[in-house]
Amino acid sequence: MDATVRLDSKQLNAGESSSVGRSDAFEDGVLLYYKFARIDDPEETKNWLFDLCSSLGLLGRIRVAPDGINITVGGKMAALEEHTRVVSSNPLFDGTDFKLASCLPPGDEKAAAECGFTSLSARTVKELVTLGLHPSVQPPSILKAGRHVSAQEFHRMLEDRARDQVPLKKTVVVDGRNLYETRIGRFSAVNGVEVLDPLIRQYSDLPRWIDENEEQLRNKQILMYCTGGVRCEMASAYIRSKGEEFQDVVQLSGGIQRYMEAFPDGGFFVGKNFVFDHRLAVPSSNPLVVGSCLQCDTPYDDYSARCRCSLCRMLVLVCTDCQVAAPQSGGAPYVCEVCIKSGKSFRARRLGESKDSLQFERHAFDCERVAVRRRKDDIHQQRKLRILCLHGFRQNASKLKGRLNALSKKLRQKVELVYIDAPHEVPSFSQYLQSQEQVCCHGSEGEECPSSRSFEAVGVSKSTAELTTRVSKKFAWLLSPSTSLCDSLVSSEQSKPNHKELSSESALFREGEETSLPQHQTQTSGWSKSWEYLQAVFAEQGPFDGVLGFSQGAAIAATLCLLSMSSEHSNVSVRFKFVILCSGFISPAADHFRTLSSLEDGAINFPSLHIFGGREGTDRQVSVNESEELASLFRAEKRVTVRHQSGHIIPTQPEFVREYLTFLDQFD
């Protein structure tokens, strides 16, 4: 349905009142629902929902995308019922399953804060559910999602398969959730039905698992389930997009929550249902514990301590006794099952130990573990913080140095800025046109060389283009696939593309050329070379205390934070203790985008300073929403955000410099 949610005066007044006369008015509860629909104005819709929730005193998360809405909020039952009444009166929400459950008020403030239930967060996002596909890959249509069945029908299907000795078609049950969820509760296997647990860290890993396990799904009846149903929508559509042999897909309507309401003893579901709110998990009446302690293997299923893998930061189960024992044994870190299976290990550095002897060096400057600080009266004798600076697209070290010149002077007592050029040279106008001329002039005999028309063809006079030969070279960390083609023109080791290929790429150099995506979102190639180069820089010019990235450089710096935490590349040289991201955005490179865009808020446990425009339109190169989206991925208590009204720059007015110094002081 094409609709945009609008808040009229009647709905606003309804949202400001609550049925306090009801007997359950002061009972706490949680409400979650989602709706796939076209949202013409996500920003307006987000604001309407935020105002409505605020007026009712609700806390939690609101996510609005062009393709739908996903909400999990908590508060008093009367307020949640009023919210449901107001929202359901809008035609957009026809057929929406509002899942409302009573519960105790938050008992653990730390856990509630980590789940986002101590505040109300409202954000516009690109997609309601992110499969983590490359931006160039069209996601499947939600209209292709699997058939919905009720909890009762889902249960009956499992019963029927268990009784059917010779089924016409084999049945598999696919869990669409993450490993930390399936650890504490899952559907049990029944006779004749195979239960498949993908054992994934995050939802964006699911498409890859589906791709790698097609044979287990081909020509099978596939029963899918997740917590509340929203993840199965896109996952089932993705499976069915694979062709005729993958069409028989059924999804549990309302997810595990509706199933456990229908079967309070758990039915075929054993253990607890992991939830993303202050409840943490919802049990059935069956006391069976299916989880176990990571350290001692004792039955255990309580995530309230929020223990995490020291390598990838995924939640892990550690029993109370092992939590108490950890400090006594030197604070041994935790390593999850996935990291262990992949051969990763962890050993903290000892004083005097060589870096080369480490299998993995822990984040050596974690703010929570800094135990020694230099005295303020030794400020002039202490070592300056060395910060590696990464420039933006089509820039170079010299350009960024000039941009940061004023800032470096004001921070000269505190930091040493180190500048490097990115490894990919971006061709200038003249390089492109000269290469085109060379290709043309080596064409068929008698063919007119169009070099005299090449400059005009891209809207640049020949004299202007020739002047660019005296301009310093420009570089990039990532390139668009088409720019990568042109980049090959700069290297004598690459073969020359033909004239038609060059002509098709001439739009790269035309000013004002319109594309469906902002330029920086099309730059998806070249990470492998940049990663090898950065490893060499850290090994040869390091160590560095921090990394500063500007624009595309900020996207790369954020990726380095994730790699430094998870040790995905098992590299111990790329280590630093903080990051400064200026006009940043999530890297569009396939692997980066798949991982970063699907992270929960605050998933990157890294001290970070974010500097960007304070309102939409301030920075014409990178939107405020993109910078905010990147910032939200970093842990809130370790994140500092500085907003300004000065465009695509790093401001150096005294009030901003004071913010920068306050952030840097913690690393003395």
**SS3 letters for 415-462?**
EEEEEECCCEEECCHHHHHHHHHHHHHCCCCCCCCCHHHHHHHCCCCH
pLDDT grade, residue 376 (50/70/90)? Answer: very low
Q: What is the C-alpha separation between 73 and 62, in angstroms, rounded?
A: 8
For every residue of 463-491, DSSP letters joined together read HHHHHGGGSPPEEESSB-HHHHHHHTTT-
- Which residue's entry shows tokens 């005097």? 352
183: left (phi over 0), alpha (psi -120 to 50) or beta: alpha
* Residue with more model confidence, 499 or 226: 226
Interval 395-419 mean pLDDT: 90
Q: Using only C-alpha atoms, what is the Rg of the chain?
A: 28
pLDDT grade, residue 370 (50/70/90)? Answer: very low
pLDDT value at position 451?
42
DSSP type of residue 549: E
The helix (run of H) or strand (run of E) holding residue 592 is: helix 590-596
Q: Are strands 99-102 and 171-175 parallel, antiparallel or unpaired?
A: unpaired
Looking at CATH, the fold of the domain delimited by 2-124 is given as Alpha-Beta Plaits (3.30.70)
- Nearest in space to 666 (alpha carbons), one of 599, 606, 595, 603: 606
End-to-end CA distance of the chain: 56
Residue 367 has pLDDT above 60, yes or no: no
How far is residue 392 from each of residues 383, 422, 535, measured CA to CA in Å?
28, 9, 19
What are the sequence ranges of the domains in the chain? 2-124, 142-283, 376-423+524-665, 429-470+480-522
- Catalytic residue numbers? 226
pLDDT value at position 292?
95
Q: What is the C-alpha separation between 568 and 584, in angstroms, rounded?
A: 22
The CB density around residue 237, as the number of other CB atoms within 10 Å, is: 21
Residue 421 has pLDDT above 90, yes or no: yes
CATH, range 142-283: 3.40.250.10
What pLDDT digit, counting tens, does each position of 234-251 carry?
999 999 999 999 999 999
Cα 493 from chain centre: 37
What pLDDT digit, counting tens, does each position of 561-617 carry?
888 776 554 555 788 999 999 999 999 887 787 777 667 777 888 899 999 987 765
List the structure tokens of 574. Answer: 């790329």
Q: What is the C-alpha separation between 608 and 42, in angstroms, rounded?
A: 28
The helix (run of H) or strand (run of E) holding residue 225 is: strand 221-225
List the structure tokens of 137. Answer: 């890959």
Residue 319 has pLDDT above 90, yes or no: yes
Decide yes or no: CATH 3.40.50.1820 for domain 376-423+524-665: yes
566 bridge partner residues: none
pLDDT grade, residue 11 (50/70/90)? Answer: very low
How far is residue 299 from each of residues 275, 286, 319, 345, 531, measured CA to CA in Å?
20, 15, 9, 24, 42
Taking a C-beta distance cutoff of 8 angstroms, is the pair 502, 439 a contact?
yes
Q: What is the C-alpha separation between 179 and 199, in angstroms, rounded?
A: 5
* SS3 state at 227: coil
Angle at CA of residue 667, ends 390 and 325, nearest 5°:
115
- Which residue's entry shows tokens 């059917």? 164
DSSP type of residue 650: -
- Which residue's entry shows tokens 């020694």? 372
Taking a C-beta distance cutoff of 8 angstroms, is the pair 232, 148 a contact?
no
Cα 173 from chain centre: 27
What pLDDT digit, counting tens, does each position of 55-66 carry?
999 999 999 999
* Residue with more model confidence, 424 or 441: 424
Q: What is the C-alpha separation between 106 and 117, in angstroms, rounded?
A: 8
pLDDT value at position 110?
76
Question: Tell me, what amino acid is at 64?
Answer: V
Question: Which residues are CB-contacts of 166 (< 8 A; sequence separation ≥ 6)?
Answer: none
pLDDT value at position 381?
44
List the structure tokens of 583. Answer: 């006009």
328 bridge partner residues: none
239 bridge partner residues: none
For every residue of 57-80, DSSP letters joined together read T-EEEEEEETTEEEEEEEEEHHHH
Task: Say whether pTM exceeds 0.75.
Answer: no
249 bridge partner residues: 222
Q: What is the C-alpha separation between 217 and 172, in angstroms, rounded?
A: 7
DSSP type of residue 141: P
Rounded to 5 degrees, φ, ψ at 604 are -90, 105
Question: Tell me, what amino acid is at 34?
Answer: Y
Question: Which residues are CB-contacts of 140 (< 8 A; sequence separation ≥ 6)?
Answer: 234, 237, 238, 240, 241
List the structure tokens of 132. Answer: 């983590």
Cα 455 from chain centre: 42
* SS3 state at 564: helix
Interval 148-164 mean pLDDT: 91
